[in-house]
Structure 1
Amino acid sequence: MREFFRRLFGGQPIAMPREAASGASVEPVDRADTVERIEVLTWGGFETPASTLEAILEEYLMPESIGPDDRGWIEAEVARAFARKRDEEATWPAQTDVDRLAVAFEALDAAGIIALHRAGYTRSDGISDAAEVYHARREQGRESRGFVFYHGQDVEAVLVDRGLYLAFGAYDDRDETAAGIAAEIVAAVEAQGLRTTWEGDVGKRILVHPIRWLNRSPSDA
């Protein structure tokens, strides 16, 4: 699963075997493993049915090596997974924990702390994404004091109820500033009724736990 997320959220391109690239070989799909990846993408709540199908066919599997029966099965399985999730979403409360986190992130962003959801797959990916936002905003005359984000590995963990870790930092590279930003993050998140754990060490991330990961999927439309 980790390798799949690395590929999906910013890893290196997948090298295809010579015979697969030429279309000369059709290999059976590991359906159990593929179902697991479809479920992760579906319940993470950031992908649409179309983008999930694309990710499975183009990034996880080798499209040239998928036979028509497996391709049809994958399409049906993605549709089934999202249909199940849509049914579940209809029973969710009007405001979920993920919605509360989004409100907290919006408040932090407005206060000069760049706040990003699912920023890449690793911590370095997230720092890079935040830096891009930092420079883009600076060109527009908008300064940012620091950042907060969670990444693809964190989504993977929160789906199995390990809590959500938030990385943070300050753009002046001062521990005092970073500690102040962490305190703002904790206050903003807890103001939305979520609980956090942070030991006061700027070298460690903030944990949001418990948190029910009920993230509504966007529409393909």
Structure 2
Amino acid sequence: MLKILRRLLAGRRAEAPVRTPSDTPVEKIDRADTAEQIEILARGGFETEASTRETILDAYLNPDVIAADDRRWVEAEVARAFARKRADEATWPLETDFDRLAIAFDRLDAAGIIALHCAGYTRSDGISDAAEVYHRRKERGRASRGFVFYHGQDVEAVVFGQGLYLAFGSFDDRDDTRAAIAAEIVAAMEAQGLRTRWEGDVGTRILIHPIQWLKRSPSDDPREA
């Protein structure tokens, strides 16, 4: 999600006035808001402790104006959030809903439906990422019929206990193909014990609900990756 937050905040940062180091004021951060963002990244499960710290300090906050005590607080809060997450992970079942989702995505991907986890921050980001994978695979002689993904905003929602929405589409842009791909996605989720809601409208996303978002975080140690 480092790339996700950088995309989200690029516009905001671009609008900020340019200052030289000598006239840049030191500002206090909103610790409650920052703690929530840290928790989202930790619970989302796509970032390590180190990358979360980097994201918050260098992308979510303005590194040029953050006070030294706030920087230390961020580093400590990230450590606390990941300590809580690791403690919780020790109590999780061997296979979680995320693991079942990942199995379904792997099987869809093998069947020619590009399946992407946390693809960008918005729907347009996800479509762009799917198109990029499509062209890359096509160059290698691998055909793809369609795609399925969820994006960063969907992860934020599911972390807070909501369902997970899956966007989908086809590369021939035909409604009957899209409907067939949606049916395959629904079947793949149901085969893993994940309950879905979809009314057959190719203009609406598939909802997985309920889902308990338990995704183990990657390690900062490359030897454990």
Q: TM-score, normalised by structure 1?
A: 0.94
> Which structure 1 residue ranges, 5 or more long, are not aligned?
none
How does 1:118-137 map onto structure 2 within 5 Å? 118-137=118-137
1:74 match: secondary structure: helix
Cα deviation for residue 10 of structure 1 reads: 2.2
Runs of 4+ in structure 1 off by over 6 angstroms are none
Q: Within 2, Cα distance between the matches of 1:78 and 1:191?
A: 37
Residue 10 (1) aligns with residue 2 (2): no
Give CA-to-partner distance per residue, 1:147-181, whole Å, 9 cap, x none: 00000111111112220000000111111111100
Distance 1:58 1:23, change over 3 A: farther
Aligned residues: 218
Q: SS of 1:143's equivalent?
A: coil
Checking the alignment, whether the CA contact within 8 Å between 1:194 and 1:208 is kept in structure 2 is yes
* 1:74 equivalent in structure 2: 74
State the partner residue of 2:168.
168
Structure 1: distance between partners of 2:29 and 2:23: 15
Equivalent residue, structure 2, for 1:217: 217
User: Which segment drifts farther, 64-73 or 84-93?
Assistant: 64-73
Q: 2:181 — aligned with what?
A: 181
Conservation of the 8 A alpha-carbon contact between 2:44 and 2:215: yes
Checking the alignment, whether the CA contact within 8 Å between 2:126 and 2:150 is kept in structure 1 is: yes
One-letter amino acid of the structure 2 residue matched with residue 57 of structure 1: L
Using the aligned pairs only, state the percent identity. Answer: 70
Residues 1:9 and 1:60: Cα distance change in structure 2 (over 3 Å) = closer
Q: Structure 1, residues 15-67: CA drift from partner, whole Å, max 9, x if none?
A: 34334755631111111111011011110110111110111011111111112
1:135 partner SS: helix
Paired with 1:8 and 1:66, the residues of 2 have a C-alpha distance of 18
Partner-residue secondary structure (3-state), 2:130: helix
Q: Contact (CA 8 Å) 1:164, 1:211: kept in 2 or not?
A: yes
Contact 1:47 1:217 in 2 (8 A): yes
Give how far 1:7 is off: 6.5
Match of 2:146 in 1: 146
Match of 1:104 in 2: 104
Q: Distance in 2 between matches of 1:88 and 1:70?
A: 27
For structure 2, list consecutive stretches of 5 or more residues without a partner in the other structure.
none
TM-score normalised over the length of structure 2: 0.92
Partner amino acid for 2:162? R
Aligned counterpart, 1:83: 83
Post-superposition offset of 1:123:
0.6
What SS does the corresponding residue of 2:95 show, helix, strand or coil?
Answer: coil
RMSD: 1.8
Q: Please give the alpha-carbon distance, in whole angstroms, between the structure 2 residues aligned to 1:115 and 1:9.
A: 23
The match for 2:63 is 63
Deviations 1:62-82 (A, max 9, x none): 111112111111100000000
